Structure 1
Amino acid sequence: MRVLILLVCLSAGCLAQRPQKCSKYNTTDIDEKLMAYARYSYDALGKRIHLREIGSYNNKTFRFDVLLLYRQGVMYKINYRNRTCCKKPLSVDFHPLEIPQNASLLGQVVLGSSSGPGQGVLVNTWAAKYMSTVTEFGCVPVSTLFHTDRSGWVVTSSFILTGKSCPQFFYNSKCKKEIVNILCNFHFLP
């Protein structure tokens, strides 16, 4: 009899922990003025960053493309609307993407499956002024989360693809050949 009561209690406890399906949102309030999608290429050894961004601010679309070459002290701004390229001096220091020294490890998990080799990715989540999740091997960024009073919560997710990219989307500009050569030799994670 005790075994039967124990089984009934365990069954009730297990069924009570089953996740409930979500229903549609009853209310929502999205009043953000800014939405952006960016592609960010980063090369710490070569001290190079290529940022391409498209978005909307106050219902106006914008596009931004900049190549930052810190070792050479040069910045290229590409304007697709005018089909121009502007070369400017770059006088700021390169700041590598890294986990701050004062960060605390929140946890380590496997994203995906751990049942077979190569089916999951071991990641660490660190917290300091912001929270960042990176891969255990290679310290490749997966996501970053931070909050500011001005912007609210900002979440950055990285979808990393390994390989080499050679974009051929530069038009007739003075620095076309120079930039295409730089980008074609820019070994990075797109």
Structure 2
Amino acid sequence: MKLLIVLTCFLVGCLAHKPLPCTSPPLLTGSFSVSSQNEKLWAYSPYIYDALGQRLRIKEIGTYNNKSFSYDALLLFRENAIYQIFKNNRTCKKSPFKADFQPLGVPNSASLLGQFVLGSSSGPGEGLLVNSWTGKLPDIGVEYLYTFTEFGCIPVSTVYHTVDYGWMLTSFFNNVIGITDPSQLNPPDFCLNAKMEESTAELKNFITLFLGIK
């Protein structure tokens, strides 16, 4: 009986602790969708995330201002470059992208909004325990709402308030820890001779918001 009481107190103590800001696993594979409040933007993309090598691969399809688009991009933060990849004609566009790499996770300056269960807490496997956080991105002053899992610090959703789009919601799903195909994080052979070109402001703004970088 004493052992049962001790174990019960231990479990209650573990579950009652205040959530703390966290950092996501350094290697992640999954998908996300993005939608804007003003309905100008909607997109879906698989992603490969490598915090160790500071690399990100996204392959988007979506609509912007009622026009369809597709976008295959490799972000290499250590090289300060983005490769836009066109597999249909085996060409690449290389553009500069100077930004500090910020790992996925909850900043230390974030304020805890609350802890919630997505789904149901009525039975095992029916719900997911998550923490929601609020704050502002440094330098650019954009307000955000982050939701990450309590266990593992896996991204569930991010919400940013912007002047151009209103609220922007990114929802993550099918997340898996690890990278099954590391070659996707290297420029294809036909990209090696790509010359540096200027990138668009829209691209810079979108990537900045998606990653929460300065």
Residue ranges of structure 1 left out of the alignment (5+ in a row):
1-29, 177-190
| Correspondence 1:144 to 2:130 | no
Q: Which moved further from structure 2: 101-110 or 130-139?
A: 101-110
State how 1:4-43 maps to structure 2 within 5 Å. Answer: 32-43=39-50
Residue number in structure 1 paired with 2:208: none
1:161 aligns to what SS in structure 2?
Answer: strand
In 2, Cα distance between equivalents of 1:147 and 1:164: 31
In 2, Cα distance between equivalents of 1:31 and 1:101: 30
1:157 to 157, 171, 187: 171
| Correspondence 1:133 to 2:140 | no
Q: Structure 1 residues 31 and 164 mapped into 2: Cα distance closer, same or farther (>3 Å)?
A: closer
In 2, Cα distance between equivalents of 1:79 and 1:166: 19
How much is the aligned-residue C-alpha RMSD, in angstroms? 3.1
Residue ranges of structure 2 left out of the alignment (5+ in a row):
1-36, 136-142, 193-214
1:56 to 63, 82, 85: 63
**Identical pairs, percent:** 54
Scaled by the length of structure 2, the TM-score of the pair is 0.55
**How far did 1:89 drift?**
5.8
Q: Segments of 4+ in structure 1 off by > 6 A?
A: none
More strand by share: 2
Contact 2:90/2:190 (8 A) holds in 1? no
Contact 1:104/1:126 (8 A) holds in 2? yes
1:11-68 Cα offsets, whole Å, 9 max, x none, are xxxxxxxxxxxxxxxxxxx973332222232222221111211122233221111112
Scaled by the length of structure 1, the TM-score of the pair is 0.61
Q: Structure 1 residues 145 and 78 mapped into 2: Cα distance closer, same or farther (>3 Å)?
A: same
**How far did 1:133 drift?**
0.5
